[in-house]
Structure 1
Amino acid sequence: MGARTVSPGGALLRSSRMFSMPRPLPEISSISSDSTMHKSNTATRPFPQYQSITSPLASREKGDWGIKRPLPIKQTMATTTPLVRVKQFDTIEKITDYNSAADHSLSLEKFGEMRIAMTIPQEGRDRRDISSRANRYIIDGGKDTSGPASNPGLKSVFEEDMDFTAMSADSAGDNRWKFTGPWLARMSEGDFIKYLDKHVRPKRAEFRTLLRGLLAAQMTDRQNAEAREAGKPLPPPVNPKDITEEDFTKYLRRLRHDRPVLYSVISKFLDLAPLGMPVGFKANSGIFFDDDVQVSRSPYGKSGPPPSHPSAGISYLRTNAVLDNHPVYGPQADKTPILSRIISPRQGATPAKLGVGGFVATVPAGDNDFNYRPTRGGRSASRKAISGVSHLDLSTYGGAKAYVEPYTATVNPEGKVVVKVREAGAEAQIIAKEARGLTSIYNDSPLKRSLLSAPEQDAGQEASARRLERVAEEVFSEEPLDSVPEKDIVSSSSSYGLDPPTER
């Protein structure tokens, strides 16, 4: 038998040690007006674009990461997070362009530890109703099991009426998160002009045919309604070819003046991402001439659809209806709070920013310690403002910190994970501090007693010294022990510390 010939592709796969890598995610154009518009090449991206690669220690010591050339051992071994992202296998300098991927990998790990369920964005809801501890919203099949009945609960991104991509004939099709067409509000002027020239103008004839079909259906319904009222047999349906140009022109003029209906028809024809309801427009106000056309009620109408699945693959939890079971105190009413860092104080109307597990969140709104301001009557003894919220705290080592409870997260059109937090409960904060050794609830062990504050330790030492003096007086007393009347100490009040101390 002769030698087998290998194709160029097969030879490439044989010589290559890593031949399959996913393409990097494209950069998303930002439409926000905040400071994130000024991007830095060294700043952490809001979402990962390249796959994170790791290697076992035995291979990492040799510089083997599964790619066609080894990576420098001096750099890859001098880290506690052996995670890299490869931007380019072969550059013009014949090297591998890579950098550390610990930023996104650790953020994913910390997000998983916080156990946050991804939800559909809630447009137009009062932030005070969400963050208030009196109104608890639990993700449970889209129903609010604890808050007031007037406020709907947060809905998971994995619900059947939200987690689908196929276009349906009913109005529920607007709730899908993926569309073939773009979201017009996110496009730049140049991209919008290119979209008109390449996708919209070639479909003019097709769109006019669609409008003729809609007009024919409306005229057929009108004729049938008039025939029923007059008691006559139903006339034959109107054919789109039988519509005159004059009637069609009048129909186009009516469409131009009815913007909601026109937007709905164009969005379905081009499969565009839904736009928000026009300002000042109220549903079911009777301004429609076509009742069959419905206005989009998509949750992504105001902010826009996310660039990926609404969960972003960062969390697959469907509900927050779980209980934390403490080994000593049993089931807890609140989740374990997260110690957040105050990274930006409040500036005028802009609320303070918190760093929660590698993500930036806004302080919870409402009447809480984050927004507490002393009145003229004086500050309450049980309330105090958190340091670092109203001004930059330069005295606290490591920056000002505060406990919060993250309860939901969403993905905005820019691909950023927006975490929402609320004020943590007092008992949950004490238990979290006890786990870190910063405070103690039960001081019946040497470890707990060693964690007491200095005034408490001084008070304990003084009590021990007084008891030692009483023992010394008993030992060196000249009064014989027989003269002291015996006292039953079994199940007596003194054995439980109930008798008042006697004066000597």
Structure 2
Amino acid sequence: MTRQYPQYQSITSPLSSREKGDWGFKRPLPLKSTMTTSTPLIRVKQVDSIENVTDFASAADHSLSLEKFHELGVALSIPKGNERGAAPTRTDQWRKSVFEEDMDFTVTREGRAGDKRWKFNGPWLARMPEGDFLEYLEKKVRPKRAQFRRLLKDKLAADKTANRARIAKDQGKPAPSTIHPGDITEQEFTNYVRSLRSDRATLYGLVSKFLDLAPLGQPVGIIQTFLSTGDNAAAESPYGKSGPPPSHPSAGISYLRTSSYMENHPVYGPQGRRTPVMSRVVYPRSGPAPAKLGVGGFVADAPAGDNEFNMRPSRSRVSYNKKMLAGIQHLDTNTYGGAKAYVDPESASIDPSGKVVLQLRDADPESQLIAKEYQGRENVYVEQQRSASKQQTRSEADPWRVGRVADEILGDATVASQEGKDVVGSSSSYGLDRQR
């Protein structure tokens, strides 16, 4: 099965070396399987296997998918918390690039509220299976119990020192001595641990900072989250709900910072929207789940809204005149190759499993017409018909041509007879030399 992300390097070889079976390894590869393909791309699983052969396979799937993704011209953006949730607000319409300075960093910053990095040493607990979670507790968390207790003692000593200094400052007394962790009794430490168990926001902040866990959004109730401030505030990381990516958020498949660029058509000039992409319905809609479309080798949800993919009931006459695309409600078996439609790729992001998530919107009718004209399926600008219509209109609306015919018959010497060409821009063509 094709995985959602590559695991091996894609290797190619020039034709002069490929004809000899030379791919740069210790032994030549068979010509029967490497010369009969139009995509000479391989992935080597093992250079020298136990059978003394080079274990390789075709790497055309990921390589061609990368090439087609580059042709889409889509920039990678930070994933939203809920792509299918409530209607997006005005600020959610603009997606932020993964290469912004306030997002593209891996170092730990002070406080959890501004921690927007994408790389963490600890796992994302919300996605871990139960078996992996129990194994993580047994092998990673429990051995660090003593170290975490020392951290709590240090924090308790720092809090008590700061509290005593604040009281002394309010009373106008000199600053007291510093309290060390060794000065704390076991009873005080036990009471402090009990208080932390009831304050989940503070406890979660200490644990996540100690284990460097990926954020989980709001781990406690809304009231406790608003009451917690400073280092105890809930993380505002963009990966709190969707989860951190397994690699850089761009995954190395695109280095575009934005998709906001304008296409210039050679005939119609600058275009308001880019050239749409032909998509194919690969899975019809099932209940509330939207239909699945195949776009450039990637599967994405159908565009939301009142369009041919998702018809919404409305009382307006415009909605009743629209037609839903074939294959949305049921699988289209009549159309050759399946139902197809134009879409406009808006943005893309990488989910925690490494999959490319495309966000689509319905294509503009004018953009679809121009794209069909480029493929020879529609005629928008016909030169011959337009020239003939223009010539006929000009002959009917030119009052001076009747006078020119009369001058030719009467033999008027003031008008020069020029056969075979039409004088444009001269005094005779505009009738300025006529005697009145």
TM-score bin, normalised by smaller chain: 0.7 to 0.9
Q: CA deviation at 1:266?
A: 0.6
Q: CA deviation at 1:203?
A: 1.6
Written as runs of structure 1 = structure 2, the 5 A alignment for 1:267-416 is 267-278=208-219, 280-282=221-223, 285-286=226-227, 288=228, 291-373=230-312, 380=319, 382-416=321-355
Contact kept, 8 Å, 2:114 with 2:235, in 1: the verdict is: no
Question: 1:47 & 1:224 partners in 2: Cα distance?
Answer: 55
2:430 pairs with 1:430: no
Indicate the SS of the match to 2:282.
Answer: strand
Indicate the SS of the match to 1:285.
Answer: helix
Q: CA deviation at 1:379?
A: 6.7
Q: Name the counterpart of 1:165.
A: 106
Q: Name the counterpart of 1:197.
A: 138
Q: Name the counterpart of 2:187.
A: 246
Q: Does the C-alpha gap of structure 1 residues 332 and 239 become closer, same or farther in structure 2, counting only changes over 3 Å?
A: same
Question: 1:124 & 1:176 partners in 2: Cα distance?
Answer: 19
Question: 2:201 & 2:343 partners in 1: Cα distance?
Answer: 42
Q: CA deviation at 1:228?
A: 3.0
Question: 1:128 & 1:219 partners in 2: Cα distance?
Answer: 45
- TM-score, normalised by the number of residues in structure 2: 0.83
Report the identity percentage.
57
Question: 1:440 & 1:270 partners in 2: Cα distance?
Answer: 64
Farther-moved stretch of structure 1 (89-98 vs 396-405): 89-98
Cα distance per residue 1:238-294 (max 9 Å; x no partner): 2222222222111111111122221111111011112231364257532x4x74422
Contact kept, 8 Å, 1:128 with 1:366, in 2: the verdict is: no
Contact kept, 8 Å, 1:53 with 1:83, in 2: the verdict is: yes
Cα distance per residue 1:62-90 (max 9 Å; x no partner): 22211122222122111111111111122
2:80 pairs with 1:122: yes
Two-structure CA RMSD over aligned residues (Å): 3.0
Q: Name which of 227, 230, 244 aligns with 2:171.
A: 230
Contact kept, 8 Å, 2:42 with 2:56, in 1: the verdict is: yes
Residue ranges of structure 1 left out of the alignment (5+ in a row): 1-42, 131-146, 450-459, 468-480, 492-504
Q: CA deviation at 1:298?
A: 1.2
Q: CA deviation at 1:367?
A: 2.1
Q: Name which of 43, 47, 50 aligns with 1:85.
A: 43
Indicate the SS of the match to 2:343.
Answer: strand
Question: 1:445 & 1:93 partners in 2: Cα distance?
Answer: 69
- Matched to 1:259, the amino acid is R
Contact kept, 8 Å, 2:218 with 2:225, in 1: the verdict is: no
Q: CA deviation at 1:437?
A: 0.8
2:154 pairs with 1:217: no
Q: CA deviation at 1:172?
A: 5.8
Contact kept, 8 Å, 2:245 with 2:353, in 1: the verdict is: yes
2:26 pairs with 1:68: yes
Cα distance per residue 1:183-212 (max 9 Å; x no partner): 223333333333223322222221111111
Q: CA deviation at 1:382?
A: 5.0
Question: 1:275 & 1:373 partners in 2: Cα distance?
Answer: 35
- Matched to 2:75, the amino acid is A
2:4 pairs with 1:46: yes
Q: Does the C-alpha gap of structure 1 residues 84 and 126 become closer, same or farther in structure 2, counting only changes over 3 Å?
A: closer
- Matched to 1:233, the amino acid is P
- TM-score, normalised by the number of residues in structure 1: 0.73
Q: CA deviation at 1:124?
A: 3.8
Contact kept, 8 Å, 2:344 with 2:362, in 1: the verdict is: yes
Question: 2:380 & 2:86 partners in 1: Cα distance?
Answer: 32
Question: 2:346 & 2:374 partners in 1: Cα distance?
Answer: 21
Question: 2:231 & 2:375 partners in 1: Cα distance?
Answer: 61
Question: 1:58 & 1:65 partners in 2: Cα distance?
Answer: 11
Question: 1:422 & 1:127 partners in 2: Cα distance?
Answer: 16
Contact kept, 8 Å, 1:338 with 1:405, in 2: the verdict is: yes
Q: Does the C-alpha gap of structure 1 residues 376 and 331 become closer, same or farther in structure 2, counting only changes over 3 Å?
A: closer
Q: Does the C-alpha gap of structure 1 residues 376 and 285 become closer, same or farther in structure 2, counting only changes over 3 Å?
A: closer
Q: Does the C-alpha gap of structure 1 residues 279 and 352 become closer, same or farther in structure 2, counting only changes over 3 Å?
A: farther
In the alignment of these two chains, the number of paired residues is 398
- Matched to 1:60, the amino acid is R
Indicate the SS of the match to 1:261.
Answer: helix
Question: 1:236 & 1:272 partners in 2: Cα distance?
Answer: 35
Indicate the SS of the match to 2:251.
Answer: coil
Q: Does the C-alpha gap of structure 1 residues 122 and 223 become closer, same or farther in structure 2, counting only changes over 3 Å?
A: same
Question: 2:141 & 2:120 partners in 1: Cα distance?
Answer: 16
Farther-moved stretch of structure 1 (296-305 vs 340-349): 296-305
